[in-house]
Amino acid sequence: MEASGEPARGSTVNLLWTGGWDSTFRLLQLLLTHRVPVAPYYLEDPTRASTQVELETMVCIGERLRAMYPHTRDLLGPIRVASVGDVVDDDEINAALREIRRRSFIGSQYAWLPAFCKHHAIGDMELGVHVDDKVQALVRPYAQQFDHPDGYSSVRVDSRHADTAEYRLFRYFSFPLFAIDKVGIDRQAQAEGWGEIMDMTWFCHTPVRGRPCGTCAPCLYTIEEGLARRVPASRRVISWFYRHLALPLKAPLRRIRARLRGGHGSRPAAPGVGRP
C-alpha cells in the first residue's frame, strides 16, 4: 500500500509524538498556534527501558493541555500506539537504509518508521527533526520547503530526487522544525508561555531511579545541544567522564570486533575485547 498524497486543508495532522522535547513543542505549535486537529502516533519498543515513562509522560501532558487550554479537547486525538514488533518489514526501505548507513550512521528506527507509514498509507507524518540532528544534515541537500494547506511552512524530500536512497527512506515524512535547534525551541516555548509543559517532557532512554542517566544518546544530545540543565547535576558529572573517556573508545572497539568476526573467527579476541 502506497502513501497518500498531500494533506487537504483542515485535515488531521499526523505527528510522531514521544513525549520528548522536539515532538512536544511541535504538538503545542499545532494545537495552540495553528489550532489544527492532531493524530499523535507512538511506536512502542518494548526493549527500551523508557517506553513506559514516555507513555505516562504523554498522558500527563495531554491532561495538562486539556485543563489549561480547553479547546484542545476537540483537537488532540487519542494516542495511536503501535508495536515496533508488528511493523511489516519492507525490502525497499531496508535497502535504502543500508545504502545510507554506508555513508552516515542513523538509528534503527529509520527501518521501522517509514515501513509503518508505508504500510498504513501515511504520506505526511511529521517528525521533530531539527538543526544539529543527523537526519537534518542528511536530508538537507534534498530538502524542499512547502506551504501546508493549514497555513504553515514545512520541509520534505523533493520528489525530483526520487532515484536516491534518501527519497525512498524519508518520502513519508515532513520536517516542520527543520530550521530550528533545541535552544531556539526553548526560546520560542518560553516566549509563548509553554515552559511548564515543555518541562514535563522526557528524553532519556535508560533512566536511573526515574531520572535521566546522562549517558544514553538522547541525554548526550540534550547536553551537547545546549540543554544540559535538563540532566541532573550528578549525572552530568558522570556524562562528562563518559563522553571524554569511554565514548572515544567505542568506535575503535567496534571496528576491532568487526575485523575479528569478519576474517579471523578461529582466533581468540584481543585482550579486553569481548564478544557480545
Q: Are residues 158 and 142 in contact, defined by beta-carbon separation less than 8 angstroms? A: yes
Q: Please report which confidence band the pLDDT of residue 265 belongs to, taking 50, 70 and 90 as the band edges.
A: very low
Q: What is the mean pLDDT of the chain?
A: 86
Domains in the chain, ordered, with CATH? 13-183 (3.40.50), 203-263 (no CATH)
> What pLDDT digit, counting tens, does each position of 8-22 carry?
556 899 999 999 999
Q: How many CA atoms lie within 13 A of 232 on its CB side?
A: 11
Helix, strand, coil percentages in the chain from 3-state DSSP, rounded to 5: 50, 10, 40
pLDDT in tens, 203-230: 788 888 878 888 888 888 788 877 888 8
- C-beta of residue 57 within 8 angstroms of C-beta of residue 201: yes
Strand segments (E) across 113-265? 125-126, 143-147, 153-157, 173-174
136 vs 38: CA distance, rounded Å: 23
Q: What is the pLDDT of residue 275?
A: 25
Query: Does the pLDDT of residue 266 top 80, yes or no?
Result: no
